[in-house]
Amino acid sequence: NAGVTQTPKFQVLKTGQSMTLQCAQDMNHNSMYWYRQDPGMGLRLIYYSASEGTTDKGEVPNGYNVSRLNKREFSLRLESAAPSQTSVYFCASSVGVWSRGMNTEAFFGQGTRLTVV
Amino acid sequence: EDKVVQSPLSLVVHEGDTVTLNCSYEVTNFRSLLWYKQEKKAPTFLFMLTSSGIEKKSGRLSSILDKKELFSILNITATQTGDSAIYLCAVEPLQGAQKLVFGQGTRLTINP
């Protein structure tokens, strides 16, 4: 019963390096999300994919790109990492189709702690 | 701009106490409000609220929504050390995808 799986769990990058965070879900969810969590700021949405084949910017998209590879997988890429991107990154997924009376909550992965030096 | 504000930001109580966490929001076209508990890693879902005045309850935890005054509270009675966590409130605006707007979180510490 994996749910949402993120890799890697930890990463240290030098400024200017690139990397891709991987996320996969096995719940047949339509929608997937990438959030970042910084101290005192809650979770902020970077990008989301409402359904396979679509992606849209969230609240803080600058410096990131995403790919919805298929229904299961949604990756986040940092092309040129900056110290301001030091954060904990969470991938999440949800059914994506709202229905009254139905719990349609988002399920979260375990997070990736990224440090950019 | 959609906004969610939680209070207090931090709370320290003794085991057995009752706590009330607050969440107020300003969201265009509200759909639902969700509470999550975050211990060491991933936030885990507690409640989803869509209607005013209907209390949702799970063991010692309960929550209620007031859509007129735009707030929700999360109550925890007879607190235990295992309740120590960050409690996150999120609101889902009425849009195509279920994007969540999160508050800053309340860090709750229960001392034995």
* Contact check, Cβ <8 Å, A90/B98: no
Mean pLDDT, chain B, integer: 92
Backbone angles phi, psi at B83, to 5 degrees: -80, -10
The pLDDT, as a whole number, for residue B100 is 87
**Residues of chain A contacting residue B43, judged by C-beta atoms under 8 Å apart:** 43, 90, 108
Tell me the pLDDT tens digit for each residue of A30-77. Answer: 899 999 999 878 899 999 998 898 999 998 999 999 999 999 999 999
| Burial per residue of A18-53, b for 16 or more beta-carbon CB atoms within 10 angstroms, e otherwise | eeebbbbbeeebbbbbbbbbeeeebbbbbbbbbbbe
- pLDDT tops 80 at residue B94: no
Chain A, 31 to 90: residues with Cβ < 8 Å from chain B are 31, 33, 35, 40-45, 48-50, 56, 58, 90
Tokens of B23: 């969440």
Give me the percent of chain A exceeding a pLDDT of 70.
93
pLDDT digits over B2-54, tens only?
Answer: 899 999 999 999 999 999 999 999 987 888 899 999 998 899 999 999 888 88
Amino acid at A30: N
Sort out which chain B residues have CB atoms less than 8 A from A93's CB and list them.
none
Residue among B31, B32, B102 minimizing CB distance to A43: B102
**B97: pLDDT confidence band, cut at 50, 70 and 90?**
low
Q: Residue written as tokens 């930001």?
A: B9
Please report the pLDDT score of residue A101 as a whole number.
56
**Separation between Cα atoms, residue B24 and residue B91, nearest integer Å:** 10
- All residues of chain B having their beta carbon less than 8 Å from the beta carbon of residue A48 are 97, 99
Token reading at B6: 């939680």
Alpha-carbon distances, residue B2 vs A7, A70, B47, B88, B105 (angstroms): 30, 30, 20, 16, 16
